[in-house]
Structure 1
């Protein structure tokens, strides 16, 4: 109760600030917030010392020789430990991130601060979590002495189990001693279901409560949000002006497309399509417009801004940009850097060959999809049983338990039954990475029917594995992924039910030579989204934050 009272007090102060901001001196407000921040630092100093001491202790324990280990395994273990101490000035994948002279001059390689990653749902196992853990791995390799603290609400998972899941799900190996999990007790305040009305504002204000919870656990040297809670970064800047902040934006909380969808008459632009009619629609529109202004004001407090796609960056430039927007990708609110999410392109391409049509793919075509209501509808016009050989529909992805995801899967199962394609449909929830690889190796067509998919990691995986893609003609797939780079199409894009049905038929009807050619073009295109490319661009931006701590 004491914690909640303190959090409510901070929210009250922020609210009073928003109301009386024109009447109060900026310096007075700064002193108020800095005073609160000073108290938080003072109260958490002992925990910070404990976290650092614990990490160093685990580091020493891991380096200690193991008497029962064989000489070969011991040598291998020592070599692995040494790798973490070696600072690779060229960054992961051998790509230069800073020059050696700059590194020596600034001492960045020896930086031993704490990077706080705000990611309350880090055990979800989705694309956003892949970004988080790949970012942690890149940070560890660049600054071996730094501590990566993840603020999470996943109390049911300890660190060992979490890192094991990361390894199994994403094939990402992390250095255990310098990873710290800090458990939040207020995650419920950012759950959408907690706000049946005014959800955007409710979650945003709720994130301030969760951020306060995070800071009372530990005040980091660098604070990065990797889930899209921009308000937490502004709060950090108000309380701790000396802590550099960074945002990795997967999806803007509100966008111009959302506002435009209120007037949509086609019914395909999301759940709010056409909802701008009447008095209720007018109120919703005004609420969204005001929230967009608040969201933009908050975003302009962030030091470094990264976006996962060109589509996301364009919206962030429009809403957060305080100066004349540019497209140079400097990493500012007015010019966010596009840092494509990491995808296991290298592993997929080394595991799955596409020199000729794979026999398994000739025998059975698998539809490997993320959101599929459009596909289910198209099945009414082109029944799967009429295609020879009959294809199978395989749905693979992560499912957040006790969330709308489970309800959605249940509804999809019912829909498959109603459309009489249940026997041709397989649901694989929370599949391991080896299982994903197995299905990708035998699939022929990869489908993603989501409108305005912010990026589309699964679409890149389709391309890297040599599948022919059929995606929605919007968002990241249209802007960045399923594009012609000058040597031909890399897949199909569609919007309407009829267009999806036509694209499915066209993909299956391609001559064998063109199928192979399209697959190979797509695989070359996917090289833009490797883990190495992500690491390089991530470190370019985070280096700015590390240098700012000095």
Structure 2
């Protein structure tokens, strides 16, 4: 066991002692012990809560004065339709819900990462602000190196999402390293889950919200919230189940099924299987504590219903688990990128892979497949592969360096371009010019980048699993919208097919892909989000302000 665990235990000792003592004394005391701790945390954070609300009021007044002086135009007129939808969905059209002004806590320790999960966070906050303008949206983050103006500016540049600054508050957590996978060389799932309890305790000791929502996948924090604050409604937007039957099945696979493919052999593999099975049981129990559950795809929905459904039913949770597809800039891409016979001449023979430089994105597979395609067909020597994504930390930077070395070893470095931390304007330009869009992650939970490919008219070649297979790259209007692949050879073949189709078939597929992508607009996300958010506010209003 690594030394990290011995550092971790003192930080979570208080939490474990509270839980274990209450269980030892009797199940009837569990609620009392948890509530007493919650009372202590609320009292401890009450001064900060009042200070935050005062600061929000001051910033709001200053913002309004600035707007009047600068004569700024009204923001986002196209949101009127969404706002009216949200108002109609409120319980009985109740005025209390319409004018709700509580604090919504969004647990997202890596809010400045710039990935698809962050787009969901910021789009959710924007929708909440527009629908309930008096609500305060608090983001629990560990991004100490970024100020509020810097984060909001990055949100606008990266996602073209403009937020109302006064009602966005950042609570900076000092224990984020406890949820990093690199902190736990062994028992990573358990380590990160226990680490998230430390992070959540840190969050609650700084500010207790009226509604608590996890938008990053730390389900254990929601159970801890219910233990401390039984009347606070909890919500989860699940991008990817922490454990799944597919993960267990991958232990017996040889390749193509993620980072743990084939690792179930021998004594070590058997122990790992037992460990994962026990963790799955614990994860299922945790999910039963969540009041409102959203998943980002039908693939995730199936797994979460299987894992959390029985536990939630036992706890008599009112609302069913539902899919809320992530928001994608489909409308913007349609306005910015033309799909026509004349626009075909402006495209280049380029493969574009937009994804964070994380190991599960499997950039190495694409590099090898690209090299294999070039070996098979010498006529494609003018093709370029563009790897575009955010670099979150030093580990990601090292990964990019290793990928550059791999491109050199495969003798394709002159055909490969790395585009790190590019702004949305640059990504948009690449989407406009590229021919093929690529996704290589096994069991990608959804695949926002793939929807962007389709909306931009790219021919998608994606992993034959997860959201890209089930929800996105599906037949539309009687024809395919892209290609599926699993192995290096299949990806190489998919690239070649996409590049050698007739001009008529290519244009037809581009148009089908764009039409299919309209299912994932920002407006569709906002409407679905407001319905779920309305349920949380309904629950909170029924128990009274805390």
TM-score exceeds 0.5: yes
Q: Which of 336, 349, 364 lines up with 2:334 in the alignment?
A: 349
Could you tell me whether the CA contact under 8 Å between 1:118 and 1:223 is conserved in 2? yes
2:398 to 407, 412, 434: 407
- Following superposition of structure 1 onto structure 2, how do residues 90-489 of structure 1 map, counting pairs within 5 Å? 90-91=81-82, 96-99=85-88, 102=91, 104-264=93-253, 266-322=254-310, 335-356=320-341, 358-361=343-346, 363-370=348-355, 371-383=362-374, 386-388=378-380, 390-403=382-395, 405-489=396-480
SS at match of 2:105: strand
Where structure 1 has 5 or more consecutive residues not aligned to the other structure, the ranges are: 326-330
1:57-76 equivalence runs, <5 A = 57-64=58-65, 69=69, 73-74=70-71, 76=72
Counterpart contact for 1:308–1:339, Cα < 8 Å: yes
Deviation at 1:379, TM superposition (A): 3.6
State the alpha-carbon separation in 2 of the partners of residues 173 and 239 from structure 1. 34
User: For 1:220 and 1:507, how far apart are their aligned partners in 2?
Assistant: 50
Residue 20 of structure 2 is aligned to residue 8 of structure 1: no
Instruction: Give, in angstroms, the shift of residue 269 of structure 1.
Output: 1.1
Which residue does the alignment assign to 1:328?
none
Deviation per CA, 1:201-238, whole angstroms, max 9, x where unpaired? Answer: 00001100000000011000000000100000000001
Q: Deviations over 1:64-103 (max 9, x none)?
A: 2579x5xxx42x35x45xx89x995x525x6x23428846
Q: What's 1:531 paired with?
A: 522
Residue 544 of structure 2: aligned partner: none
Structure 2 residue aligned with 1:35:
36
Give the whole-Å Cα distance in 2 for the aligned partners of 1:87 and 1:386: 51
- For residues 290-327 of structure 1, the C-alpha deviation after alignment (integer angstroms, 9 at most, x for no partner) is 000000000100001001111111111111111799xx
- How much does 1:14 deviate? 2.5
Does residue 522 of structure 1 match 2:510?
A: no
Separation of aligned partners in 1, 2:469 and 2:167: 39
> How far apart, in 2, do the equivalents of 1:439 and 1:103 lie?
47
Q: TM-score, normalised by structure 2?
A: 0.91
**1:308–1:455 contact (8 Å) kept in structure 2:** yes
CA distance in 1, matches of 2:490, 2:421: 30
> What is the number of equivalent residue pairs in this alignment?
525
- Cα shift at 1:382: 2.6
CA contact (8 A) 1:354 1:516 kept: yes
Q: CA deviation at 1:26?
A: 3.0
The Cα of 1:16 is off from its aligned counterpart by 4.8
Q: Is the 8 A contact 2:347 2:432 kept in 1?
A: no
User: Following the alignment from structure 1 to structure 2, what is the Cα–Cα distance between the partners of residues 364 and 516?
Assistant: 15
Decide whether the 8 Å contact of 1:470 with 1:504 is kept in 2: yes
User: CA contact under 8 A between 1:8 and 1:209: conserved in structure 2?
Assistant: no
Once the two structures are overlaid, the 10-residue window that deviates more, 533-542 or 353-362, is 353-362
User: Contact conserved, 1:152 with 1:183, CA < 8 A, in 2?
Assistant: yes
The Cα offsets for residues 378-415 of structure 1, whole Å up to 9 and x where unpaired, read as 24433278234711111111121123x22321221111
1:45 match: 46
Normalising by structure 1, what TM-score?
A: 0.91
CA distance in 1, matches of 2:433, 2:293: 39
User: Does residue 497 of structure 1 match 2:488?
Assistant: yes
Say what the alpha-carbon RMSD is for the aligned residues.
Answer: 2.4
Once the two structures are superposed, residues 235-254 of structure 1 have per-residue CA deviations (whole angstroms, 9 ceiling, x without a partner) of 00010011000000111111
Is this contact kept in 2: 1:317–1:333, CA < 8 A?
no
Residue 358 of structure 2: aligned partner: none
Of 380-389 and 441-450, more deviation after overlay is shown by 380-389
Alignment gaps of 5+ in structure 2: 1-7, 356-361, 542-546
3-state SS of paired residue (1:374)? helix
- Tell me, yes or no, if the aligned pair for 1:146 and 1:178 is still in contact at 8 Å: yes
Q: Distance in 2 between matches of 1:27 and 1:548?
A: 24
* Aligned-partner SS, 1:248: strand
